[in-house]
Amino acid sequence: MPEMDTVDLETDLSLFKYDDLEQLPPAYRDLDESDRTRRIEAARAELGEEVVVLGHNYQRREIVEHADFIGDSYQLSKRAAEADADYVVFCGVTFMAESADIITDDDQTVVLPSMEASCPMAGMAEALQVDAAWAELTAAADDADVVPITYMNSYADLKAFCAEQGGLVCTSSNAHEAFEYAFERGDKVLFLPDKHLGYNTAHRLDMAGATAEWDPWDSEAADAEGVADADIVLWDGYCQVHERFTEAHVEQFREAHPDGNVIVHPECRREVVEAADVAGSTSTICETVEEADPGETWAIGTEIHLTNHLQRWHPDVDVVPLCGGACMDCNAMRQVDPNYLTWVLEALADGTERNVVEVPPREKELAELALQRMLEV
């Protein structure tokens, strides 16, 4: 494994990583939609090509309607890097804005309208906590070389930690290739933070029987013996939005729509993925509905805003939320309120940068290395 300098990972186990958090001023709290739209458009007209607005697929309609590009986290970061704009306003969550900052040029500034948009799953594997568990975990693995892989849905300091340990980043569409890359270089994989994506990937590689879970909240209960025997160790994190789907939801849908199809995100539990017709990343879900024939019925197992957008964007396809009214929106994504978008855009038009996400230089360099390794898989 390549020798690397150690890095001082300055972080704490807090929900909000950016302490220069600015709250929405009272004057922006109750804007009505038509006034807000006019003000957003006016600020955008003044800024012209200086700004690009990116909207993640899980954002609400009033946000994506103002976005220059709509997509999944990785597609949007690439759009940010390709754009010439000085300012990238990223309507998504903190880890996405960090990734955009990592891959954009140094003279581009990334703004996250609400710093409270912090993904709970990313918070389940803070770098400080992983660093502390690493010694125990590698000791439990005897002399085996453990290669850490972190899902894109993690903070930059964890991506940096993985790079430092010879590991890499993956998305939900290339996780299996990242595992193969890791097994060419080490004996075991530690996958963070999403145990479901990790387990679904282990299945895809016919390695489900060689997994063990590591509970970061109770290392005494963590299965040290299991770790010694396992090839894949799964950090016990999960996404509350995707964990909500159950096999019963799939059965109920099939009873009501015998000719319907089911597609779910691989952050869903294994039994849900097995019961579905297709499991795929956010972009696979979008492409599948886009390519469906008119009249086809698709149940979608992912964040509810995306399901609603797909319904609006493809009215000739019958798009159904997999768990009906019980489907969830993402609490973190919801923090990006359109009033915040108005506020940050008007501030930029006035020459003031608000809620800038800037990854510290050393962390950025290492996180970029972890992302580059992903591009090699």
Binding footprint of ligand 13P on the chain (CB under 6 A): 72-74, 152-153, 171-172, 239, 267, 281-282
Question: 332 touches which of ligand SF4, ligand 13P, none (CB within 5 to 8 A by kind)?
Answer: ligand SF4
Among 51, 63, 89, 93, binds ligand SF4 (CB under 6 A): 93
Stretch that binds ligand SF4, among 117-125, 221-229, 290-298, 361-369 (CB under 6 A): 117-125
**For ligand 13P, which is the closer residue by CB, 36 or 244?**
244
Does residue 158 belong to the site contacting ligand SF4 (CB under 6 A)?
A: no
Stretch that binds ligand SF4, among 107-115, 253-261, 271-279, 328-336 (CB under 6 A): 328-336
Please answer whether residues 190 and 137 qualify as being in contact, where contact means their C-beta atoms are separated by less than 8 angstroms: yes
**Count of alpha carbons within 13 Å of 318, Cβ hemisphere only?**
9
CA atoms of 227 and 133, how far apart (whole Å): 13
**What are 54's strand-pairing partners?**
69, 90
Question: CA separation (Å) from 264 to 269, 309, 362?
Answer: 10, 16, 37
Does residue 52 belong to the site contacting ligand SF4 (CB under 6 A)?
A: no
Does residue 120 belong to the site contacting ligand SF4 (CB under 6 A)?
A: yes
Q: What is the DSSP letter of 281?
A: -
User: Whole-number minimum distance, CB 83 to ligand SF4, in Å?
Assistant: 23
Does residue 119 belong to the site contacting ligand SF4 (CB under 6 A)?
A: yes
User: Whole-number minimum distance, CB 353 to ligand SF4, in Å?
Assistant: 24
Q: Using CB under 6 A, which residues numbered 357 to 376 contact ligand SF4?
A: none
Question: 120 touches which of ligand SF4, ligand 13P, none (CB within 5 to 8 A by kind)?
Answer: ligand SF4
Question: 108 touches which of ligand SF4, ligand 13P, none (CB within 5 to 8 A by kind)?
Answer: none
Beta strands at 278-279 and 297-301: parallel, antiparallel or unpaired: unpaired
Does residue 330 belong to the site contacting ligand SF4 (CB under 6 A)?
A: yes
Question: 74 touches which of ligand SF4, ligand 13P, none (CB within 5 to 8 A by kind)?
Answer: ligand 13P
Q: Determine phi and psi for 64, rounding to 5 degrees.
A: -65, -25
Does residue 100 belong to the site contacting ligand SF4 (CB under 6 A)?
A: no
The separation between CA 366 and the C-alpha centre of its own chain, rounded to angstroms, equals: 19
CA atoms of 244 and 139, how far apart (whole Å): 34
Does residue 43 belong to the site contacting ligand SF4 (CB under 6 A)?
A: no
- H-assigned helices in the chain: 33-47, 61-64, 73-82, 94-103, 127-140, 156-164, 175-185, 195-204, 224-229, 240-243, 247-256, 270-275, 282-291, 304-313, 331-334, 338-349, 361-376
User: Whole-number minimum distance, CB 200 to ligand 13P, in Å?
Assistant: 13
Q: Determine phi and psi for 91, rounding to 5 degrees.
A: -90, 90
Residue 302, both tokens: 């992912």
| Sites of contact with ligand SF4 (CB under 6 A) | 93, 119-121, 153, 239, 241, 303, 330, 332-333
